[in-house]
Amino acid sequence: MELRHLRYFVAVAEEGNITRAAERLHIAQPPLSRQIQQLEDDLGVVLIERGSRPLKLTEAGQFFYGHALQLLSQTRELKAMTQRIGIIDSKMSIGFVGSTLYGMLPKIIRRFRDAHKTIELSLHEMTTMEQIGALKEGCIDVGFGRIRHEDPNVRRIVLREERLMAALPSEHPLAIKPALSLQDIAMETLIVFPKSPRPSFADQVLTAFHDRALEPRNIYEARELQIAIGLVAAGVGIAIVPSSVQGLKREDVCYRELDVPNMVSPIILSTRLLDESNDVKLLIKMIIDIYEAESMAHAVSAQDLNGVLLNS
Ligand code: BEZ
């Protein structure tokens, strides 16, 4: 019994007439009758009551008709799914903290999409801590965050240490200085973000003050980076931000260097510990290529990275 026998039988059952079924199938009537006869011989049962007008199915014929419909529908689904897999090799979900959008993330995603058209990428904004849970639940495959959180099931790679800067109102008296110290900033309202969940980038910034025995006069916790910058523009206070945020140009906010050694925030790539998937390797390779092309200081080198991948 072949799939064509199922198609022919279904057409005859639905049309109730061999001539109309043959027209629907675009074949001549005698070969269609022969195929139905072959099917009945193969099964050893009568499927269509002979002599009935319109043609009626026997009990076995009705049973066969129901199952033939299901099989033909599954065949169509199988065809569609196989064709889709042929087009899309795989899918990769990426979680990222909002601040990485001001860095290299847009370029990395653009280039990756161009170079690997058969990999379907989806992007999800989430905190570093949310990324850890999402990786373990299989909701994302890669996370880009900023918190050095240890988890036995998660592999972390510090891609680079990004310099931090002060964002302050353009009209602020401290704006005349080329670089600000943490003492300068501690005298003002310090705007930190994100407010929750903790630990977050806010804690990295607060730790930098506490490590130097400084307590900012006032702390304002903003929900996210955009809000923090808006509050700076409104003259509420000063925020400490990754240097790439300077790309977010607005007249009422200016950016100044910090007169503090090692004021950096890491950009950390996280994956599931034993995930050796090729897509993730391709993504990492693309990041390395971009860093090398941009001659980025403090970035992980291809050599370091190979070590990380081999040792995991
Ligand atoms: C970067 O700015 O270096 C970066 C941001 C997101 C993902 C990877 C790298």
The DSSP-derived string for 53-90 is SS-EE-HHHHHHHHHHHHHHHHHHHHHHHHHHHHH--E
What percentage of the chain reaches a pLDDT higher than 90? Answer: 75
pLDDT digits (tens, 9 = 90+) for 154-209: 999 999 999 999 999 999 999 999 999 999 999 999 999 999 888 899 999 999 99
Residue indicated by tokens 């989430």: 126
C-alpha of residue 267 to centroid of ligand 1, in Å = 6
Both structure tokens of 47: 């499927």
Both structure tokens of 281: 């390797």
Residue indicated by tokens 């900012």: 216
Predicted pLDDT at 107:
96
Predicted pLDDT at 312:
44
Is the Cβ atom of 103 under 6 angstroms away from ligand 1? yes
Atom index in ligand 1 nearest the CA of residue 104 equals 2
Please name the amino acid found at residue 234: A
Task: Calculate mean pLDDT across residues 56-82.
Answer: 90
Atom index in ligand 1 nearest the CA of residue 102 equals 2
User: With bands split at pLDDT 50, 70 and 90, how would you rate the model's confidence at 228?
Assistant: very high
Q: Which fold has domain 3-85?
A: Arc Repressor Mutant, subunit A (1.10.10)
Q: Burial, 161: exposed, middle or buried (Cβ in 10 Å; 0-12, 13-18, 19+)?
A: middle
Q: Which range, of 66-75, 85-94, 115-124, 262-271, averages the lowest pLDDT? A: 85-94
C-alpha of residue 247 to centroid of ligand 1, in Å = 14
Predicted pLDDT at 308:
54
Sequence spans of domains, the chain: 3-85, 89-299
Please name the amino acid found at residue 188: E
**CATH code reported for the domain at 89-299:** 3.40.190.290
Which of 267, 289, 298 gets mutated to test ligand 1 (max ligand atoms within 8 A of its CB)? 267
What angle, rounded to 10 degrees, do the helices at 278-293 and 302-311 form?
160
C-alpha of residue 100 to centroid of ligand 1, in Å = 6
C-alpha of residue 289 to centroid of ligand 1, in Å = 12
How far apart are the C-alpha atoms of 303 and 163, rounded to whole Å? 23
* 208 CB-near residues (< 8 Å, 6+ apart): 182, 240, 260, 263
Please name the amino acid found at residue 77: E
